[in-house]
Amino acid sequence: MRITDNKVWLKYYSKEALSEKLPECTAYQYLKQANSDRLDEPALHYYGRDITHRELLSRIEECASAFVSMGVKKGDIVSFLSVALPETIAAVYALNKIGAAANTIDPRMDTNTIKKMINASGSTILITIDIAYPKVEKIRNEINIDTVIVQSASASLPFVKKAMVSIATKSKIPYSDKLMKWKTFLSKGEGVQAEEVPYQGDATVAITYTGGTTGIPKGTMLTNDSMNAVVLNFKHCGVDRKDNDRYLGIIPIFSAYGMVCGMHMPLCMRLTLVPIPKFVPTSIGKLVKTFRPQVIISTPVFIELLIGSKEVKNMDLSFLHTLASGGDTMNEGLENKLQQFIKEHNMKYPLAQGYGMTELSAAASFCANKIYKPQSVGIPSLTTTVSIFDPETGEELGYNEIGEVCVTGPSMMKGYFESPEETEHIMRKHDDGKVWIHSGDIGYIDDDGFIFIKGRIKRMITRFDGHKVFPINMEGLIGGLKEVKNCSVIGVNDRVHSQGQYPLALVEFVPGVDKDTACADIFRYCDEQIEERGKPVAVIAVDEIPLTGMGKNDAKALESLYADFDYTLWSPKSK
């Protein structure tokens, strides 16, 4: 039986949930309607200052009027080289109100990539945070931008904290009519009325970019419907919440994950968003101690840093109801460590795991509270259908059969911006008449409706004899050892046969560990625990496993460094 013939996961939803329809409104209207009865409650908590929904809506109106005064209209795109400031959040919703879109670019990108993203968008206005202005200055004559608007991270801080924020570029920006401060921009809208555009489900709200593991990152067009669908899905995922619970926003707003799950979702679910403009991973324990959030959605690497944080080592974390992991697969070893951490710190619920992609507005499945299975990324969310297909024949498979994970539903992106060929490659129309996102992930769905991810098709290591090795299995085995801080398993070229690869384990150890001895011990441990064809050819200690901007292990970077590693010259050195 094909999975879509009997969606067993629907048994977890109430009749009320199953009958609920996707709201027919813009992202801005959803935000406004969801909080219409709590205008004086905090929408944002920005480093000690509460910004109410009344104030946030007022800021949105002010921004919208300023954009209109500068000629921004329906269908236009405004580029951002900024982070999760209250001003940026207001500006994104303001553009949505008037039918324009935000092109959100990671300020950490190199100037050549930034230039291409700006010029491809057709933007004539660029909003940048002041600390990123030096990059703008370098490419100012190479981008088709008429006006640059400069934001400051300190603008919305409480007065007593403004003096603590040092902005290196503060006195170096040569402001003019075409290079203006944020306040100057807002003043342009005085006396201007911004008309609200009618709802259009597939209208683009924001362009966010993929990780860019191959070539220039692709711009994904997130729409009113795709972003609102994620909110609706979270409303019915069973997460324990109440009005004004704090949501720690550590995922960058220029990613789909941050834009949808880190901004739009918590605000529309009546939570108080605590935006962190510049998240330093090692500070996660301090942030939890300072802001005492009820909800955190993070990545496995960041959560592992929380486990090892001295700030929360002996802290009662019973206030933290939902600690969720997404954005990358969590190996079994880390999951076991985390569940033990949750018990020891009096947290009410087990780890909430989820699965998603930038192309799915970040979220497609969830494990939450009582809907949970170890090592699973949960059941498909309310409006989402997930199924498994044979990557070679395209045939839909049944429960417990491994194949490519494919997803359909309203949270799908509109497509890649100005990239029809790339869009057609990932968004494919099947025989059922529906368009499915082909994830490139390998996994299966069990007969209870829970999804299990085994790894990427591209990360799957295929030996010379055709046997396939999934790195996540070995990463889970090694990651559970107490001396291991992080682990990544990659494929290295077969030195004997004309084709194929073997697995190589790269391990980052906790401080104080004798690395040679530990590598030898892990090699023997794998020899005992793993079947013959899946064993590593070597276990190598690394000072640090590189991470992507989203906090995932950068397997691509490691593969480029070690692809031609000569494992025949390696042998375990134990003392």
CATH number, domain of 365, equals 3.40.50.12780
Q: Do 247 and 139 share a structural domain?
A: no
Domain assignment present for 172:
yes
Q: Do 403 and 500 share a structural domain?
A: no
Domain assignment present for 211:
no
Terminal Cα-to-Cα distance of the chain (whole angstroms): 55
Q: Do 496 and 425 share a structural domain?
A: no
The residue ranking higher by pLDDT, 531 or 575, is 531
Q: Which of 156, 185, 200 finishes a domain?
A: 200
- Which residues 6+ apart lie within 8 Å of 105 measured at CB? 79, 80, 81, 114, 117, 118, 209, 254
The tens digit of pLDDT for each residue in 61-114 reads 999 999 999 999 999 999 999 999 999 999 999 999 999 999 999 998 889 899
Q: Do 412 and 330 share a structural domain?
A: yes
Domain housing 530: 459-569
Q: Do 445 and 297 share a structural domain?
A: yes
Q: Do 439 and 492 share a structural domain?
A: no
Q: Do 178 and 66 share a structural domain?
A: yes
What percentage of residues in the chain have a pLDDT greater than 70?
95
Domain assignment present for 170:
yes
Q: Do 244 and 178 share a structural domain?
A: no
Domain assignment present for 251:
yes
Domain assignment present for 207:
no
Is the pLDDT reported for residue 29 higher than 70? yes
H-only helix segments in 485-535: 515-529
CATH number, domain of 185, equals 3.40.50.980
The tens digit of pLDDT for each residue in 287-345 reads 999 999 999 998 887 888 898 899 999 999 999 999 988 766 677 888 888 889 999 99
Domain assignment present for 38:
no
CA distance 396 to 391: 9
CATH number, domain of 559, equals 3.30.300.30
Considering the entire predicted model, what is its pTM? 0.83
Q: Do 134 and 248 share a structural domain?
A: no
> Cβ atoms within 10 A of the Cβ of 84, count?
27
Q: Do 314 and 238 share a structural domain?
A: yes
For 337-403, the DSSP string reads HHHHHHHHTT-SS--EEEE--GGGTT-SEE-BTTB--TT--BEEPTT-EEEEE-TTT--B--TT--E
Q: Do 292 and 437 share a structural domain?
A: yes
Domain assignment present for 247:
yes
- In the prediction, which pLDDT does 301 show? 77
The total number of structural domains that make up the chain: 3
Mean pLDDT score of the chain: 91
Q: Which of 151, 178, 200 finishes a domain?
A: 200
- In the prediction, which pLDDT does 327 show? 66
Domain assignment present for 35:
no
Lowest mean pLDDT among 88-97, 234-243, 256-265: 234-243
Q: Do 426 and 438 share a structural domain?
A: yes
Q: Which of 433, 457, 481 finishes a domain?
A: 457
